[in-house]
Structure 1
Amino acid sequence: MLKKFIIFVIDDLSGSGTPEEMVAIDAFNDYLRDKGHWIFAGGLTAPVHANVIDNRNDSNFTTGKPLFDTKENYSGFWLIQANDDETAKRLAYEGSKACHRRVELRPLLG
């Protein structure tokens, strides 16, 4: 049974990928699709656009800012599927190489 994972791209606030990185990312995306690992991928806006919302107990609370105030953030992600943890880890290494950034790999629950 295939397991699902998320690969977060770790970035700083220096800007988006170079044209060369975008070519490598597109090639990695195509590889994921061709090999049946692809579920979904996307980029995220800068943290200044984040907003923590809490409506527990109808509190209707909003911070107007991200949860964490840090230089590093997640700038994108891949949702993938793989037969095992080692395959997912290998794909995370390839994703890191493609986007020329560190990544964080996490299995999804369930």
Structure 2
Amino acid sequence: MKHYLLSVIQPVGEPPAADVLAEIGRSLDAFHDELKAAGAWVFAGGLHSPETATVVRVEDGHVLMTDGPYTESKEFLGGLCIVRAPDLDAALAWGAKATRATTLPIEVRPFHGETDS
């Protein structure tokens, strides 16, 4: 089985109303339960907004830390889920379920260096 990253692509702006977020939360819980029951669950979690980020980088041999996002954008990584799937088609099927649960776009990407087993 290969591992795939399902990235939740969230737009910048105000979050949905509390009742809408509660429904999304219930849908995500059901999605995660389905992943676990299928043996596809590895990890999932939501992220705070980019304003909470600290960027760490090397410049002229020194480590620099900067508050805030690395770049300004109209969207950001709002959460992630790592799944086990036999192939890209199966991972895309999980991505389809994730986009229904979150109501947001999901980017599906394989990890490097994994082969079919």
Q: TM-score, normalised by structure 2?
A: 0.86
Question: Counterpart of 1:18?
Answer: 21
Shift of 1:57: 6.0
5+ residue gaps, structure 2, are none
State the Cα deviation string for residues 30-74 of structure 1 (Å, max 9, x = none). 000000110000010100011111136641212212112112111
State the one-letter code of the partner of 1:9: V
State the Cα deviation string for residues 6-52 of structure 1 (Å, max 9, x = none). 00101123226611111110000000000011000001010001111
CA distance in structure 1 between the partners assigned to 2:4 and 2:59 by the alignment: 28
Match for residue 101 of structure 2 among 94, 98, 102: 98
Q: Taking every aligned residue pair, what percent have the same amino acid on both sides?
A: 29
State the Cα deviation string for residues 63-95 of structure 1 (Å, max 9, x = none). 212112112111101000100110000110110
Q: TM-score, normalised by structure 1?
A: 0.91
Give 1 or 2: higher strand fraction: 2
Q: Which moved more, 1:62-71 or 1:3-12?
A: 62-71
> Which aligned pairs between 1:1-110 and structure 2 lie closer than 5 A?
2-12=1-11, 13-15=13-15, 18-55=21-58, 58-110=61-113
Tell me how large the CA RMSD over aligned residues is.
1.5
CA distance in structure 2 between the partners assigned to 1:24 and 1:46 by the alignment: 21
Aligned residues: 109
